[in-house]
Amino acid sequence: TCSLLRSPKGFPKLKNDTFLRAARGEETEHTPVWCMRQAGRYLPEFLETRASQDFFATCRSPKLCCELTLQPLRRFPLDAAIIFSDILVVPQALGMEVVMVPGKGPTFTEPLKEVEDLLKLRQKVDVTAELGYVFQAITLTRHSLEGKVPLIGFSGAPWTLMSYMIEGGGSTTMAKAKSWLYRHPEASHQLLRLLADVIIDYLVGQVAAGAQALQLFESHAGHLGPELFQDFALPYIRDIAQAVKSKLKQEALPLVPMIIFAKDAHYALRDLAHAGYEVIGLDWTIRPQEARAQIGEDITLQGNLDPCALYAPKEKIGELVKKMLESFGTQRYIANLGHGLYPDMNPEHVGAFVEAVHAHSRHINKH
């Protein structure tokens, strides 16, 4: 249970380090597995816990975040937990208001429209003051996990956050945000730099609070082509890895593995392989062998079952997992979906996915 904070240090000893070993490229007995959005609406207990609370109020409650993070681990033998939070807490820390609109999703009450709107953003963010609730949730969850599995912290990447801040919510074209890149490149870089600086402090703070790995979500990479990605996304993705690592060293904090997940960015896999991350997450639209050929042997891959495969009958899920493991190989590999779980998925099918990864990878490793 998520009882209130004990001392931030003195964390319980880790019992299952398979995920961390795979991330670092060490040998594992089975392929570790976790799911993006594993703490989520597909679980009845999640809906029950969330019922009375506004979404972002939930994000600001360390006890509720802890409870929601632990729920999937009570059901499934997952190899990692990921803290329950949202990427849009970073724009909130910059002073923007975001509300969760039922049926529509996250919505900014006043998106950025003109370059002048950048002046409304906080130019210096004290992450402990603005995002300390996430740090508390991580510390509390790390204790409450009792060393069962490692805890992953995360952030959205600058371009993805920028696109939300300008679009004011989700968008199929990202036309407003992309028009900034073409019309106001300097202001775009100014905003991306501001975001990157906050993200760096935020990720370092998560490690100080107890996160044992970090994932950076560039969820809207697919809206950029190779040129725009090269100019407006990649430099910041690189910079975040470098700066986080050097700050962790300076502060004598553990150098945790970092994962980059740039959805639909096949065109950038070679560049991402040199961006300073131990793990590259893949979406479901690329063949594992092709990704491995572009990324090389010394980076761990994570992914990439089509989330909709979980609608298949359980036996079929097992077959798809076996095929996926044969394509990736069982080493230097973390099994996951190619994006997050959907709210109408059957928890039993999620369990079948997790168990199939363990069973088939053990079998392949033995033979």
Are 207 and 248 contacting, i.e. CB atoms less than 8 angstroms apart?
Answer: yes
Backbone angles phi, psi at 161, to 5 degrees: -65, -45
Q: Catalytic site residue 164?
A: yes
E strands of the chain, at which residues? 81-82, 98-101, 105-108, 151-156, 213-218, 258-262, 279-281, 300-305, 333-337
Q: How far is CA 179 from the centre of its chain?
A: 27
Are 261 and 284 contacting, i.e. CB atoms less than 8 angstroms apart?
Answer: no
Q: Catalytic site residue 41?
A: yes
User: Which listed residue (21, 50, 238, 292) is catalytic?
Assistant: 50
Q: Kindly state the tokens that stand for 283.
A: 């979406």
Q: Which residue is it, tokens 């300073």?
A: 276
User: Which listed residue (24, 41, 75, 362) is catalytic?
Assistant: 41
User: Which listed residue (60, 79, 142, 164) is catalytic?
Assistant: 164
DSSP β-bridge partners for residue 108 = 98
User: Which listed residue (17, 21, 37, 79) is catalytic?
Assistant: 37
Are 321 and 296 contacting, i.e. CB atoms less than 8 angstroms apart?
Answer: no
Are 79 and 32 contacting, i.e. CB atoms less than 8 angstroms apart?
Answer: yes
Are 120 and 188 contacting, i.e. CB atoms less than 8 angstroms apart?
Answer: no
Q: Catalytic site residue 133?
A: no
- Nearest Cα residue to 88 out of 214, 182, 186, 219: 219
End-to-end CA distance of the chain: give it in Å, rounded. 40
User: Which listed residue (24, 86, 117, 311) is catalytic?
Assistant: 86
Long-range contact list for 296-299, CB < 8 A, 24+ apart? 297/332, 298/25, 299/25, 299/273, 299/332
Backbone angles phi, psi at 217, to 5 degrees: -100, 110
Residues carrying an active site annotation: 37, 41, 50, 86, 164
